[in-house]
Structure formats: structure tokens, C-alpha cells
Amino acid sequence: MLISISLLLTFCKLSLAQQVIPLNTLIGNNFENKIDVTPPFSLYVSAQMDSDFNLNNIYVKTMDNQIKSLKDLRHSRQHAESGPISPFQATSQTLITTNLSNGTLALMNGFIYVTTSKQSTDQSFRVYSVDNINTIKINGNVDGNCTIVFLNTDSRILPAHSSLFTKWQQPRDATVKMYKGYPTDVLEKNSTQIFSNPVLATGKLLYIPTVETFAVTLGIFYMKTTNDVYFQVDSRNIDFNGYSTQNYQTTGFFMKSKEVVGHNVTINCLRDTRFNGTTGANIMGYMPTKYGKVTVQTNDNTFADSFTVTPVDGILGGSVDKIGKNMTISSVDTDGGEFFVQYYVVQGEQISSTYAPGEPTPPTYESTTKGVKNSKLMLVVGILFLSILSL
Ligand SMILES: *[C@@H]1O[C@H](CO)[C@@H](O)[C@H](O)[C@H]1NC(C)=O
Ligand SMILES: *[C@@H]1O[C@H](CO)[C@@H](O)[C@H](O)[C@H]1NC(C)=O
Ligand SMILES: *[C@@H]1O[C@H](CO)[C@@H](O)[C@H](O)[C@H]1NC(C)=O
Ligand SMILES: *[C@@H]1O[C@H](CO)[C@@H](O)[C@H](O)[C@H]1NC(C)=O
Ligand SMILES: *[C@@H]1O[C@H](CO)[C@@H](O)[C@H](O)[C@H]1NC(C)=O
Ligand SMILES: *[C@@H]1O[C@H](CO)[C@@H](O)[C@H](O)[C@H]1NC(C)=O
Ligand SMILES: *[C@@H]1O[C@H](CO)[C@@H](O)[C@H](O)[C@H]1NC(C)=O
């Protein structure tokens, strides 16, 4: 019960802008619910928990006589089972009507998402419903700089609205920034992304080739990309307590939504004890009281170093010049609040020829320091090339 009340509150707040219209705020019995956005716009439906029967009795109608049921809109995809959802393109004043009762509508969980006019004509604007596995492959040359909006109304598994990102691949020249909510026509404020790659690590932007599996538990959020990006996303969650990172230089993400109670997770860090390095995180969020805090602690047999922040609406970074056996992300007094933690582990230089005593020999991966050296080398070659050109 608590969960659904706070969900309702989250959505009600959004609906003031009239861009996310929860179905449970519609008026029934054939009332004409006007969409208070100037056409043209695109309209999308996310209603994973609502019945076909109910959705089939809710209509979107325009003054120029387009009419579609929400059931048709929910299932409209350009390709059969995955890929972006096709919008309902509204070119005149649009109404939503239904012969369902207020009482039936009040029990619905889905929402209607309405874009701005500019977004409705943008070829690089895509909307995905996170239900079955969506493979998202952006080709920067063809698709341009994309805005990708994710809608998730699936609450069969808890935490609800969970979108699991896997198999991430991103070349060095690509940028991804992820934000909560929906995009407007105004550029985002600096440092308001909940996740990014390159990541802001100890004051510098750092590209990290490996992105760990992570989950976002929000009904609506979006990503802005430049160049190529590949990943899969589906409505699952995994227990991140006990999760093990996959590379020596890596980044991942952990969040708590308003609807769930805070819990602590310990993530095992793949590391090579012959190298030094840095463990850090960028944290943002909203805390219900001044006592709400998030701590990231790097643990090893001989040390436990941490940093603590009170999350605010822009990222605050912290780091420790060590890579421990594991890292604990913990929080206190965050009930009703939300926070987003992007963590990263960056291997530094080789400082020893032998492994720490009692440490298993780690699997061999291409050393990330080698990668860094290569890129420096490429830069040098690039500068040389430029100077030759300028001669
Ligand atoms: C609501 O409309 C549908 C057709 O859109 C119709 O089949 C159904 O009987 C109507 N229900 C009521 C209660 O009027
Ligand atoms: C449905 O809700 C609206 C808005 O709260 C109200 O004006 C209307 O009378 C309700 N309809 C019925 C049949 O209760
Ligand atoms: C894509 O974004 C990059 C970085 O912001 C910018 O340099 C480039 O001009 C953009 N490309 C297009 C087609 O807008
Ligand atoms: C955001 O950061 C960029 C790069 O550091 C800077 O050029 C720009 O002025 C900043 N914008 C705002 C609104 O602070
Ligand atoms: C999380 O860790 C903090 C700090 O160690 C502790 O105070 C808190 O009780 C823990 N929370 C849970 C849910 O275990
Ligand atoms: C790693 O060791 C090198 C060489 O001693 C040093 O310059 C560097 O600052 C160290 N890095 C970290 C993160 O401690
Ligand atoms: C994390 O590492 C510390 C130090 O090695 C160890 O004591 C602790 O049991 C580890 N925690 C988990 C959950 O693995």
C-alpha cells in the first residue's frame, strides 16, 4: 500500500507538466480529458500491468479524426517484438476518453507519455518500453546524437520498474549520459546525470571500456548519446549484493528509488594486487532529511577507507586511492528519498612484481595501463601528424 501511494505521488508530480499522464488520473464515463500540450506532439503508452480489456476501452482522439485505443498504442512497435515503440502522432488538439469508470481507472498502473513538438520531429528521438529484451544499437554515423527515453511500468518483480542493462559496448569516442525523468527542449544542467561514460573521475573525464551490468528502477528515464553505443535492456533485476566486477578498469551503477527501503550492498572488485589504483563514485539524489547519507567504503584485510556524502541534485564525487577486495555502498536515513551511485575502479601503475600474500593470482586481462599508454601513444602520433600537416 505504501508503495503504491508513493508511486502515485511521484507520478502526480510529473503530471503537472502534462507530459506524463498516469492513467489513474484520467476521468472516466466518457469525459473528454484534454491533453494540455500544443500539437504537434508524439504520444506513447506504457501499461505493462494493465489488462488489454481496459486498454481497449480507452481512446486517444484528435480533432482531425485520428483515433486509436491504448491497447493498439501499447503494442505498436516498428519491429515485431523489440525496438522502439511507434508514436501516435498528434497534429491537432487531442483528447482521451473512456467509458470505464473512475473506480476502474483508479486501479490502473500505466501512463501516457507526451513529447514536445521539437522532439516529435526529431529523427534521433526514440522511446523504448522496457519489457522483453531490447537490443539497442546506435550507429552514430546513421542515427546521429540520440535521445533515448525508457518507459517501464512493470511491477511484477521488486523493486518495481527495474530496467537491467547488460552487454554494454561503447567505443572511446562515444558519450553516454543518463538522466532521471523525461527530456525537455532545454539542455540539461551540468552534473545532473545519474550515470555517464566517460565518467568524471577525480576531476577528469575518463572513458571506461567496461560497464558492469546495472539496474535503473524508475518509471521513466532517458539517455543522451553521441557516436556508437550498444547494450541490451530488459525488465529484470539482480541482487547486487555480492556482485563481482568484470575488469580492472570498470564502472557500474547502484540506486535506491523512493519506493524501496534503503539496503546496503557489497560489490567484489576484480583487482591485481601488483597495481595501485583508485576506487571512486559520483553520487546524487534527494534525501528526506539532513540525516540522510550515502557512504562508499573500500575494504581490504589491512584497510577500510570510505567517503560519505549527503546527496543533492547534482553529482558529488569522492574517491579513495586504493582498490580493495570489495566495496560497500551503504546508506542511512534514506527512507522516502532516492539516490544514484555511479562507482568506478581505475587501475593505476604497477608498484610490485609480486601479488599480495594470500591473494589468488587474478585472471589475465589486457592490462588497462597498457591501454592508457597506447592512447597516449596515439595522441603523440596524432600531434606529430598534425604538425607534419601544418608544415
Ligand atoms: C465501452 O465501449 C466498448 C467499445 O469501445 C463497448 O464494447 C463496451 O460495451 C462499453 N462499455 C460500457 C460499460 O458501456
Ligand atoms: C469521476 O471523477 C471526476 C473528477 O474527480 C468527477 O468530477 C466525476 O463526477 C466522477 N464520476 C463519477 C461517475 O463518479
Ligand atoms: C553530436 O554531439 C557532439 C558532442 O556534443 C557534437 O560535437 C556534434 O556536433 C553533434 N552532432 C550532431 C549531428 O548534432
Ligand atoms: C557546463 O560545463 C561546460 C564544460 O565544462 C561549460 O562550458 C558550460 O559553460 C557549463 N554550463 C553551465 C550551464 O554551467
Ligand atoms: C547499512 O550500513 C550502515 C552503516 O554501516 C548501517 O548503519 C545501516 O544500518 C545499514 N543498513 C541496513 C539496512 O543494513
Ligand atoms: C600509483 O603509484 C604511482 C608510482 O608510485 C604514483 O605516481 C601514483 O600516484 C599512484 N596512484 C595512486 C592512485 O595511488
Ligand atoms: C569485504 O572485504 C573485507 C576485507 O577483506 C572482508 O572482511 C569482508 O568479509 C568482505 N565482505 C564481503 C561481503 O565479502
> Per the confidence metrics, is the pTM higher than 0.75?
yes
Closest ligand 5 atom to the C-alpha of 328?
A: 2
pLDDT at position 356? 83
CA 320 to ligand 3 center in whole angstroms: 34
pLDDT over 70 (residue 80): no
From ligand 3's centre to the CA of 145, what distance in Å? 6
Q: What pLDDT, on the 0 to 100 scale, is given for residue 387?
A: 35
Domain boundaries, the chain: 5-119, 129-389
Percentage of the residues of the chain whose pLDDT score is greater than 90: 79
Instruction: Give the pLDDT confidence of 287-319 residue by residue, as tens digits.
Output: 999 999 999 999 999 999 999 999 999 999 999
- The pLDDT score that the predictor gives to residue 283 is 98
125 phi and psi, to 5 degrees?
Answer: -105, 120
Q: Which residues make Cβ contacts (< 8 Å) with residue 86, sequence separation at least 6?
A: 76, 77, 78
What's the pLDDT tens digit per position in 280-289?
999 999 999 9
Closest by Cα among 107, 344, 125 to 249: 344
Q: Amino acid identity of 296?
A: V
Quick one: which atom of ligand 7 is closest to the CA of 268? 14
Question: What does the mean pLDDT of the chain come to?
Answer: 88
Please say if the pLDDT value at position 218 is more than 70: yes
For ligand 5, whether the C-beta of 330 sits within 6 Å is yes
Provide the pLDDT for residue 158: 85
Burial class (CB in 10 A: 0-12, 13-18, 19+), 298: buried
CA distance to 83, 196, 226, 281, 321, per residue, from 223 (Å): 16, 9, 10, 19, 30
Sheet architecture: strand order including 304-309: 265-268, 326-332, 293-299, 304-309
**pLDDT tens for each residue of 171-199:** 999 999 999 999 999 999 999 999 999 99
How high is the pLDDT of residue 13?
37
Q: Name the class of domain 5-119.
A: mainly beta
Q: Over 60: is that where the pLDDT of 377 sits?
A: no
Choose which residue among 57, 70, 102 to substitute to test ligand 1 binding: the one with the highest number of ligand atoms within 8 A of its C-beta.
57
Q: Is 102 in the pocket of ligand 2 (CB under 6 A)?
A: yes
What was the pLDDT predicted at 253?
Answer: 98
Q: Each residue of 12-60: pLDDT tens digit?
A: 433 334 699 999 999 999 999 999 888 999 999 999 999 999 999 999 9
Cα(186) to centroid(ligand 3), Å: 16
